[in-house]
Structure 1
């Protein structure tokens, strides 16, 4: 893909995002915090507004027109997710508030009921807290043992060590697809194949991959996969769990209440059929409908096109950051065409604390993230309390990268001048 072709994707989509066309501190906004949350196109905002202004009603429970429209649109999103990730059945898609809740659902419903003392759970040192703490809680409750895959010299998933950790004791492998700090793309298909040979289940945290590349759960052959709507152009408060049908059928409900029941007696109840047995209470209806609009939007662009453009952005970002003195970048370098890693860069400066960098960049209208990015154990391994992170999406431009790197250079030069 040529630079001119790549630029057309941002040129074609930026007008769809109202929030991008504003000034911050008197400067045009450069939004580079997409790994934390993405911005929302007008189609998504309008879908949410339309639900509340035209169709607001509870789903599944009413026969009147508003309830019927709301239910059709709400359940329609489930079908869109099926197509988006190539699931086999709509009953394999469970709506959750976010990916954290989806992982907790698996941890409590499956983990607490299937794992016992001595069973082993394999995670990696790069896991987001949401794919770490639930398994710590399961281990504390059941006596299961946590094992951790470390990093290679290039700060990628140590596949060789992973192979050495696998045994007949391994019952679960739960791993992030794309690290939100290192940007590395983990070989989740190969990870899953080896886990399944040991009879273990596999959960994939796809929060940082679903918005940026095609995902096919049948090809990955994962047992569970979790996604977060707000990172893929949808509102906050909506995510989903994919699970293989037979596995979900075997799992008890996570929460009790309305919607998840078939019949209730004073002293007993029976569960509703999948997927509703995992969806207790009134759901985030408008947010789910808007998630459907976001999926439509992404699929209209094409996930391959998004991935290709972000490869070019990644190549350009790393090329420009190489000109900034005193930076340490974390995670693997991109390949020559920008592929091989996510279009984000976590870094530290030898002269300026990450928080100071972010504060002064904000004065130039540039929004980046600083902190531990919900990967405290990884940061301790890297011997850093905080890193700065610039993360890109398909509506970002090469000119925005230029602005970011120029502002970053100016900021570092400023601190160096006052430090003598």
Structure 2
């Protein structure tokens, strides 16, 4: 058995997502399980070097998780041939410049979304990576959530028959930061720093909708800033210049209609922070982050509109849980393992920077729709499989 040690530059791991999902629950978890086993019997062992601007935090993370390598000098990390992969979880406004450097240094690229601040830059990154012959991928973690994997199982089995419509509800109340600390970084609510619901979440909705339900043909969207002022991490009041909610509709090429409500100014009265309801001729399903429940046509109640009497139905009782039938791993870790197998063993992988550009294209179309108050076509991106 051969162990393939692979150096990974992890830039931006001091942020919430970078620390929790990518470092602790993905790379550290892979190391603790003894690496990733290949079909040949060989193993992949990731060896990260933590990169960021806060030396004390990098040193602390390295010590806690028994890692030997960290630096505040990205150029130094890029110049080391041992480091084969560059990973970026920085704020969006810093991402494109760093990825340009990494491609020029011959590193394989794996990064968070959005891959850039605009579609033109996102396409340029994808083209540069292709021309340089480096393998590349973008995080599309929602595809590997247990709830959506169960939903995919239902779709593949033909459970719904003809799918008619989809309703997606995402969001929760993010505290303003005055009398209670906010759960999200303050830059998320400043447009000038790359914040905003549409630029953050529509790249997610792009791959969720198109992977599960069909190609997006057009979008109609309105965004808004429900909370005009917030308080930052230092206790300073600032103006929220970015949208904190977006209400969209998507028309798919196959005729399916998708509605998506996304808000950081809503209090949750549903099964989960993110739910997807799919209605088809033969049955319906509602999926959350982990669970999924179904109602077949033979179990559907027959309500009649009558506001003059108490509701005679217990609607929830007509839904049945879809069983796990397997152990689900962390969604971010699953995709990390796929990308590492792609780099080391050349296993197939299609979630590349062109897919990332598709997400930004949708976000820009939604912003255009909001600005012009009309439906906007989404032409799509010609996807090229990684080299």
Q: Please indicate, yes or no, whether the TM-score normalized by the shorter chain is above 0.5.
A: no
Compare relative contact order (CA 8 Å, sep 6+) and give the higher one, 1 or 2. Answer: 1
TM-score normalised over the length of structure 2? 0.30
TM-score normalised over the length of structure 1? 0.29
Higher strand share: 2
